[in-house]
Amino acid sequence: MRQLCKGNIALMKGAILAGCRAFYGYPITPASEIAESAALYLPQIGGTFLQAESEVAAINMVYGAASAGVRVMTASSGPGISLMQEGISYLAGAELPCVIVDVMRGGPGLGNIAPEQSDYTAMVKGGGHGNYRNIVLAPASVQEMAELTLLAFELADKYRNPAVVLADGFVGQMMEPLELEYRNAELPEKPWAVKGTVETRRNLISSIYLEPDGLEEHQRRLEAKYIRAQEFECRHEAYCTQDAEVLLVGFGIVSRVLLSTVEALRRDGVRAGMFRPITLWPYPSRALAKAASKAQNVLVVELNNGQMFEDVRLAINGEVPVKFFGRVGGNVPSVEELKEIVMSFAHPSRNRFDATAAHHTEEKAIDPYSMLVS
């Protein structure tokens, strides 16, 4: 049965179906509905909700709960995520599974509360100290807010690693039909957890390895885990990529605009396709390279200054020209806008977009409203 649901609330419903019974967080727009629904739902089903004194405290509470082996999460947005980065590094170092949600807003600093995708680097490349990775999933619909959160809990436990749901203000705030069936969560055994029992008394949760050889060995073990995740956990969606001469690449809310853009371009006879990474780490590089193999041009569209752009270029490795178009500050490109941009390089004779203007330079050229880099 479908219910009309806000993205942020759908996310919390998915989390609960995944067996999450602990939420520690701090309010921030545009993520607050996640904490609010956790506060409403969890106490009614024997779970724990706590509004912490700060994001710093919240992420360390996540650390504590994860140490005890429960499925636990937090949710925040840019400024709060910055405060959590220390804790995320500890979680990764201590190999503690948990889910961290970032409903991205505009930055840097206080920025604004409108949607951006500018925490890509912070979450995908690891904004905390040390060598570690987050598993990062990027939902593009209300349904996926729930489903990818369910998946995030599974992957977090499977790899004993923090998993991030990297959403944006639009996906968090929009309402769409949500279809969820009740199911009992299957919770894995966690023999490593510290539970205050005879069996777990010898367990230790820690990220400290004082001896260089010990720390190197620990990191090699983490690295082996990351390599396994890269092998098995890459996820993506490809739309009309089989015969695409222009491949549009974007994640989250942008991929929805790209989907409509592909349809509009195809109506005009331009063979466009869309590739959307669902896992931002591990990045579906091989699938992307394949999807781009027949294209003449690849255009990366993001609500940032080109953060995923770098990963696309690495994946395509010079085989096809890769261009970038970004909007920031809370602006989201429209289908019409993107169509004109694609036409400017795919069919320069057929459009009025000035392809010779300052956008097309080796350096990233910025006009007051947009960025197009080639």
For other proteins, the binding residues in 128-157 under the rule CB under 8 A are none
Tokens read off for 179: 């279809």
Give CA torsion, residues 278, 172, 81, 325, to 10 deg: 60
Give the one residue of 73, 113, 155, 288 binding other proteins; rule: CB under 8 A: 113
Alpha-carbon 215 to chain mean position: 29
Sign for the pseudo-dihedral over CA of 36, 40, 42, 46: positive
Instruction: Report the chain's C-alpha Rg in angstroms.
Output: 21
> What type of residue is 373?
V
Per-residue interface string for the shown chain with other proteins, residues 22-51, x marking contact by CB under 8 A:
x-x----xx----------x-xxxx-x-x-
Tell me how far apart the alpha carbons of residues 37 and 14 are, in angstroms, rounded to a whole number. Answer: 12
Count residues contacting other proteins (CB under 8 A)? 79
Q: Report the 10 Å Cβ neighbour count for 13.
A: 19
Contact partners, residue 363, CB within 8 Å, separation at least 6 = none
Residue ranges in 49-68 that form contacts with other proteins under rule CB under 8 A: 50, 52-54, 56-58, 60-65, 67-68
Q: How far is the CB of 29 from other proteins (least distance, A)?
A: 7
Residue nearer to other proteins on the CB measure, 112 or 296: 112
Residue nearer to other proteins on the CB measure, 196 or 318: 196
Residue nearer to other proteins on the CB measure, 53 or 217: 53
237 makes contact with other proteins (CB under 8 A):
no
110 makes contact with other proteins (CB under 8 A):
no
Give the one residue of 28, 174, 272, 303 binding other proteins; rule: CB under 8 A: 174
> What type of residue is 51?
Q
Strands (E), 30-184: 48-51, 72-76, 98-104, 135-137, 162-168, 175-179
> What type of residue is 225?
K
Residue nearer to other proteins on the CB measure, 261 or 279: 261
The strand pairing partners of 112, in sequence order, are 106
Residue ranges in 191-220 that form contacts with other proteins under rule CB under 8 A: 194-198, 200-208, 210-211
Of 130-138, 316-324, 333-341, 350-358, the window that binds other proteins (rule: CB under 8 A) is: 333-341
109 makes contact with other proteins (CB under 8 A):
no
180 makes contact with other proteins (CB under 8 A):
yes
Give the one residue of 75, 81, 257, 371 binding other proteins; rule: CB under 8 A: 257
Q: How far is the CB of 193 from other proteins (least distance, A)?
A: 9
Asked if residues 90 and 132 have their Cβ atoms less than 8 Å apart, the reply is: no
Q: How far is the CB of 278 from other proteins (least distance, A)?
A: 16
Nearest to 138, CA basis, from 128, 130, 147: 147
